[in-house]
Amino acid sequence: MTQTFLQYMDTVPDGPLGVAVSGGGDSLALLVLMAEWAKPLGRPLYSVTVDHGLRAESAAEAQAVSLLCKKMCIPHKTLLWQNHPKSGNLQDNARQARQQLIAGWARCHGLAGVATGHTREDQAETFLLRLKRGSGVDGLAGILPQRRKDGVLWLRPVLEMHRESLRDLLRDRQIAWAEDPSNRDIRFDRVKMRNALEMLGEIGLGVEVLADTASRLQSTRAALEQVSETALRRIATPREIGSVRLDVKALFNEPEEIRLRLFAHCLRWVSAAPYRPRLNALKRALVACHSGQAHSLSGCLLTPDRAEGAEITREVAAMQNCDGAAGVFDSRFACDKAAGNWRPLGKDGILLRPEWRETAESRNAILASPSLWYNNELKSAPFVDKNPDCKCWLRNGTESFYATIVTH
């Protein structure tokens, strides 16, 4: 075990840990390091593999990981990605699915954290990918050593180690690893960046320089997030119905960078979108906000609501109905399970609940509020009814609005 790895593990919280293992060299080496570290300490260790089902070899690779874990006396689970989207960015869709599957597995096991095998080369490649996309400080800060997302603490114990040194570790222990052919497929941007790194190294812009730059930007990002959180509490108010009210004058008194961060965060919180809007679209929406005009972006409606104020609500057309047995609506609300479908109250529903005017909420917020329907009959409108038959509430509460602007 390297000193770098041991120093990192000193920062890990107590409790059982998980290791995400694909069967490739990086994650297998991480598994070995984690096992050798955990055994003398008596720390419970679990491993998981996601079989994306995109290659014929993936099932066999998952089985190979399972057999190795069995020899090492480490419980292992293979999770299958089954609902493949028919369009969009394949690698990004696979990454998001992998995170969600592993997060669910980790929560079920009550794990203190899940380790992934990101390396120094991954950090440099990510920097280049984000540079190509025109990312700001947040994107160029790259992969964080630790991050809490989806209710799970994600750990990167080998982020300061090199890919080849991890493979040397496996060679020393005579452990074979799988090579994913997609890692050589130049159709993928990450592979292009990997190849570009070799050329950039010749002019002094290699892995070390780019990874070090990303690390320095992480402290800049942390400082901006702290300033943003303080400003957010002064400028924006989240509502239990899932909307946000803004003090527009106070928002535009902030420097542009902070203003953009605050506005993007409000949109993401209301829409539960995985990414912030593109910069140009965000700036156009801010211009509309400043001039008191209505605007739509990221599945949200921006509406002037009072002197020097505005409200961000969910756009009804962007929301999807869900089965009443699912217990989750629009990714944000937890709902009582019941017969029927949860859907936005909408124009049809609001006509059936004229008492909505007695609430403290705007019409747009009420239109986008959860409601339960059975055979096209409105059964419950929790944010309007005084005694709703079925209730619905924000899964993470309004305090998450402030907490999630800071990367934990």
Known binding positions for ATP: 22-27
Give, for 190, the enclosing helix (H) or strand (E). Answer: helix 189-201
Closest by CA position to 5, among listed 43, 40, 31, 39: 31
Residue pair 378/360 in contact by the 8 Å Cβ criterion: no
Closest by CA position to 211, among listed 338, 105, 126, 270: 126
The neighbour count for residue 406, using CB atoms within 10 Å, is 14
- 88-110 core/surface letters (b: 16 or more CB in 10 A; e: else): eeebebbeebbbebbbebbeebe
Binding-site residues: 22-27
Side-chain half-sphere CA neighbours of 108 within 13 A = 9
Closest by CA position to 246, among listed 233, 228, 255, 258: 233
User: Which tokens sit at 148?
Assistant: 């809490």
Q: How far apart are CA 359 and CA 167, in angstroms?
A: 62
User: Which tokens sit at 43?
Assistant: 């720390």
Q: How far apart are CA 105 and CA 117, in angstroms?
A: 18
Is 376 strand, coil or helix? coil
φ, ψ at 220 (rounded to 5°)? -65, -45
φ, ψ at 47 (rounded to 5°)? -130, 155
Residue matched to tokens 């409606």: 301
Sign of CA dihedral 32, 33, 36, 39: negative
Q: How far apart are CA 29 and CA 165, in angstroms?
A: 9
DSSP notation for 208-249: HHHHHHHHHHHHHHHHHHHHHHHHHHHHEEE-TTS-EEEEHH
- Classify residue 87 by burial, with Cβ atoms within 10 Å: 0-12, 13-18, 19+: exposed
Q: How far apart are CA 229 and CA 235, in angstroms?
A: 10
